[in-house]
Amino acid sequence: MSKNNRQILEGSQAVAQLINNIKPSVISAYPITPQTHIVEHLAQLKADGKAEYEYVRAESEFAAASIVLGASAAGERVYTATSSQGLLLMNEVVYNIAGMRLPVVMTVANRGVSAPITIWNDHQDAMSVRDAGWIMFFAENHQEAVEQHLLAYKIAEKKKIPAMVNIDGFVLTHTYEGVEIPSAAEIKKFLPAYKPKTGEYLDVKNPVTMGAFAAPAYYTEIRQELQDDLCSCQDDILEEYEKLKKLAPSAIKHSESQTHVNNGLVEYYGPKNPKIVLVAMGSLVGTIKDAVDKLNIKSRVKHYVAPNAIGVLKIKTFRPFPDDAVLSILKNAKYVAVIEKALSLGANSAPLAMEIRSAAQNKIKTEIKGYVAGLGGRDITQEMIAQIVRDVQGKRMK
């Protein structure tokens, strides 16, 4: 990657520039806060003659999802984006896209769901479709969002499974950071032009059926095939992430000396043998890292825990859930605190904590405690992280 490729961009601009360089054939979307800037930038690129894709204006998110479904079924590389209620309106089509094995890529600018009405960030929208059969990435920052969109297309087209990249609304979509955007030529080395094989798309000369009626004798096997292929994506994500690092080593680098594990599935930041591990997804991880840096200094933690005893585990890929990668980091910790911006109404655990407890069952003895924070965009402060560190050890929270 060019050394002069670093820019200060709004998160939405970074995503739009990258998508243009990836060169999809068809883009269709309906604007919804805080996703709107992404599709506005893409529309502007098209209007300015800087893009080659067909930009199809839709009358709703349901329509936009249906349009990219149809274009993907016809063998084209496609893209869409949405947020919150828009994703809920797409729900039926989201399931169909996965069931039809179409490699659609979608950005979700995460936002809380109604009612009451909120336009601010949490992860309740994405969690509502976590069982739809999509690969699901969560980005901490702009650069990671760039990485994950490239991975999304590569894995989706390789495995014929749709992929969703989640970026926190406003926190990432509307803020400016330094970011490197690979050029179209650089991207082509990692992600060649999409050319599906005969029989994988609709063609009058080679007719195929997609999304056909399935009797009970066949339905289970078809769903099991999707489940098996989705779970097997973990190996592909690890493999392709290593290739991506070679393509863009200057963009995909983690200079923190405390980062001991970093792949397409997870990242671990902190001491090699932590007593406490804090687990989270998305932009919240940045706040947690800053808090942990302070808490791991002896003068700041004498009332909390021994120095250099707290680590941070970032879940980068939520679907397929990386059980083994997670347990390899948590197995030696005494306490685990899962901090997440979502809940599962009526359940005893929120979604991420539920996944980690399920993975840990009968395998590790670590105590796992869940914390829901930041719903509807409420600030999560470093002091709140410190309080969680106290509480997970059974110490009274102030």
CA 327 to chain centre: 20
The dihedrals phi and psi of 217, each to the nearest 5 degrees, come to: -70, -15
The predicted structure's pLDDT at residue 1 = 44
At 77-102, the pLDDT tens digits run 999 999 999 999 999 999 999 999 99
Q: At residue 110, what is the residue type?
A: N
For the chain, what is the radius of gyration of the CA atoms?
Answer: 21
**Spatial contact of 118 and 376, defined as CB atoms under 8 Å apart:** yes
pTM: 0.95
The predicted structure's pLDDT at residue 331 = 94
Residues in the chain where the model's pLDDT stays below 70: 1-4, 248-257, 298-305, 396-398
The predicted structure's pLDDT at residue 255 = 47
> In the chain, what are the domains?
6-247 (3.40.50.970), 260-392 (3.40.50.920)
The predicted structure's pLDDT at residue 299 = 44
CA 217 to chain centre: 35
CA angle (203 as vertex; 198, 205 as ends), nearest 5? 90
